[in-house]
Amino acid sequence: MVLESLRESFSRMTDTPVLWITGLFMGALFALDLFLQVGGSTVLGSRVGFLGLCALPFFLGGSYGTIRGEEPGIRGYVSAGARYYFRILLAGAVMISAALLTAFLVMIPVTIAGGSLQATTALSFIGVGVPFAFFAFFFDTAIVFEDRKVLDSLRRSVEFVLGNPGRAVAFYLVNLAIGFLILFVSVVAWSFTIADRIQPFMDTNQTILQNMNMTAEQVMNLIGVSGLWAGAIIGFFSVMIGSTLILSFKACFFRRTAPAGAAPPEEGEFDEKGRWYRY
């Protein structure tokens, strides 16, 4: 099932060009944020990143709606993005808020007991973030493919993972392998472009480089403008390809694995005689 979904995602990428719109957006967002962060405009970069995250549900809805088989072409992409935007945005906000609150509640007793604040913060966010991501990863596909509501999409994602634990783990492992491969190729390619600038520094200050917490200005002085441009261009294409592939893979996997005909439960209530009345 996992490999079949991966093969279908490659086919979708070649047969459905509009799916690349989401990848183009995410790649451009990454490149712009990199320019602003390393270039010294940290505050502006953070604002751009936040606005990009707020706009991301539109592109997710467009990609998933296209794969679902709604109106083809750019018109269908825009229509699906607008239709599912707020539900994906609200569900994501609920998930992130719940994860942050849980991490904060975990931090309090550990910090009071004398634990290091810095270490406790990192471990709390990792320890809480990974399980949340593992179980709630499919909330957006549940919204689009099964027309779930905000909270029901999160419940459905947990239900989907618990109902298919082996396939879900295999799916995550394949995604990690794809991400590692793209990252490795990107780092190697970028290293070749700035090798002449960092080689003298590493030869003379290798120990300092390994232990130094470099600021954005120091990084800029090290790699130079050409290195920054190279990193942004390589990062743009890497994120564009990786995000397009992973999102298509995710949608194809969910559609293939979810029970056929699954639909959200009807809303209603039982009367005093046990009879069901639908709202």
Report pLDDT for 103.
Answer: 82
With CA atoms as reference, report the closest residue to 128 among 164, 95, 171: 95
How far does the chain reach from its first CA to its final CA, in angstroms? 37
pLDDT by residue for the chain (279 residues), tens digit each?
A: 788 888 988 988 888 899 999 999 999 999 888 888 776 677 787 888 889 999 999 999 999 999 988 677 888 899 999 999 999 999 999 999 998 888 888 777 777 776 666 667 777 778 888 888 899 999 999 999 988 998 999 999 999 999 888 999 999 999 999 999 999 999 888 888 876 666 655 555 554 445 455 665 666 666 667 777 888 899 999 999 999 999 999 999 998 888 644 555 555 565 555 555 555
Q: Which amino acid is at 23?
A: G
d(CA 24, CA 38): 21
Contact 168, 235 (CB under 8 A): no
Tokens 């940290």, residue? 42
Report pLDDT for 127.
Answer: 82
Report pLDDT for 211.
Answer: 43
Report pLDDT for 217.
Answer: 61
Residue 59 has a CB neighbour count (10 Å cut-off) of 23
- Please write down the long-range contacts of 130-138, taking CB distance under 8 Å and 24 or more positions apart: 132/95, 132/98, 132/99, 132/102, 134/161, 134/168, 134/172, 135/161, 135/162, 136/95, 137/161, 137/172, 137/250, 138/250, 138/254
Dmax over Cα atoms in the chain, in whole Å?
84
Give, as one character, the DSSP assignment of residue 267: P
Tokens 């390589």, residue? 234
Report pLDDT for 197.
Answer: 64
H or E, element range at 268: strand 268-270
d(CA 44, CA 41): 5
d(CA 38, CA 217): 7
- Please write down the long-range contacts of 184-192, taking CB distance under 8 Å and 24 or more positions apart: 185/238, 186/234, 186/235, 186/238, 189/234, 190/227, 190/230, 190/231, 190/234
Report pLDDT for 40.
Answer: 65
